[in-house]
Structure 1
Amino acid sequence: PANFLNTPNEPITPWQTWKKGFLNYLEATDAEDFPPKRKRAILFSFLGDEGNRVVDAFKLAGPSVSATQDEFQALLYALDSHFASARNIIVERRKFINRVQGPGETVLEYLGALRRLASFCDYGESLESRVAEMFISGIHSTELQDRLIRESDRANAPSLERAVQLAQQFERTSRDCDLFRRLSDRVPNASHMVERV
C-alpha cells in the first residue's frame, strides 16, 4: 500500500480504509503470521514520515496493553483511536455537501473528489445514493443537470453509474462541439469562395 501519512496534512485515504488495505497486504504477502514485533515494524515502514511522527509524539507505540493484545495489535488500536477521532463528521459532511464541480474539472475528477469526501462522512449503506445526489446537484452544466433530472424515474434519481455515463457522454460531445466551432471559425465561408475556371 501507499504510505498512510507522509506530510502534516489530512491523510489522502481515511484510516479505516488504509488499515484494511494494509491488513490485506499482510495477508497477501503471508506476513500476517510474522511475529508481532516484525508486523509492527512493517506497519511503521508504511505509516510515512508524518505518521511515524504522530506515533512518537503521542507515544502510541507503547507496550502491550493486555495479555491478549500484542504490541502490533496495541499499536493498531492506538492508531484506530487517534485517527478515528481526528475528524468531525458534521464538518466532513458539510465539505461534501458544498463540493461542486470546478471550472475545467472533468467529470471523473469531480466524481473522485466526491467519493474521497464522502468516505469521511460515515454514510454507510446510503453512500452511493448520497454521492449520486451530490454528483447531479454539483455538476457544472445546468443543461446536463436538466438531462439527469429528466432521467429520473419518478421519485428515484438515476443511478450513479448512469449519471456518470451520461455526464461523460455530455463532456465528450461538448468538447467535440467546441472543437467543431473553433475549426469552423478558421474555414472561409463557402459563399465567399468562387471557383475560377
Structure 2
Amino acid sequence: MEAYLRGQRNIIVDRRDFYLRVQEPGETFDDFLCAVKEIANFCDFCESCIDNSLRDQIVVGTRNEEAMKRMLEEKDLKLQSAINVCRASKNANVSSTVIRGSAIHTLAKCLGTSKTGVPV
C-alpha cells in the first residue's frame, strides 16, 4: 500500500513542501520536528542524505533565533545535536519564564501590590 501511495505522489512537490516548512507561531519544536520528518518520508531522500536534510531544515525552519545561532556556530552539526540544541533552548526559555513570573509574584507580595500595581 505504501509503495502505491508513494507512486501517486510527486517527489518535487513533496520536496518543495519539505524545504518551505517552517515552525509556525505557537507550534512546539517537537511538533515541528514531527511534521518535518513526516514530510521527509515522502521526499525519497537517500539514506545518507536524510539526516543532513532534516538537520538543515531544523536550522532554517526554527523560530528560535537563539537556537539557530547556536546551531550555526557548530562547524560539524549533526541532526541529534540540532535537536538537542532546540530542545535545550526551549526548556531554558520555559524555565526562565517560570522563574521571572515567580519572582514578579514574590516581589509584588513583598511590596504589597499586585502585578498591575494595585495595593493588595
* TM-score bracket for this pair, using the shorter chain length: 0.7 to 0.9
Residue 58 (structure 2) aligns with: 135
Q: 1:105 matched to which residue of 2?
A: 27
**1:106-185 correspondence runs (5 A):** 106-125=28-47, 126-151=49-74, 153=75, 156=76, 158-185=77-104
- The DSSP-based 3-state class of the residue aligned with 2:8 is coil
Normalising to structure 1: TM-score of the pair? 0.52
Structure 1: tracts of 5 or more residues without a match:
5-14, 17-79
Give the count of matched residue pairs.
111
Q: CA RMSD in A?
A: 2.0
Provide the rounded CA distance (Å) in 2 between the counterparts of 1:96 and 1:88.
12
Shift in Å, 1:186: 1.4
TM-score normalised by the chain length of structure 2:
0.82
Q: Which runs of 5+ in 2 are unaligned?
A: 113-120
Q: Percent identity?
A: 26
Q: Which amino acid aligns with 1:133?
A: D
1:136 alignment partner AA: V
Structure number with greater CO (CA < 8 Å, separation at least 6) is 2
- After TM superposition, which residue ranges in structure 1, 4 or more long, deviate above 6 angstroms? none
Instruction: Supply the AA of the counterpart residue of 1:139.
Output: T
1:91-102 residue pairs with structure 2 within 5 A?
91-102=13-24
For 2:73 and 2:108, locate their aligned partners in 1 and report how far apart those are by CA, in whole Å: 38
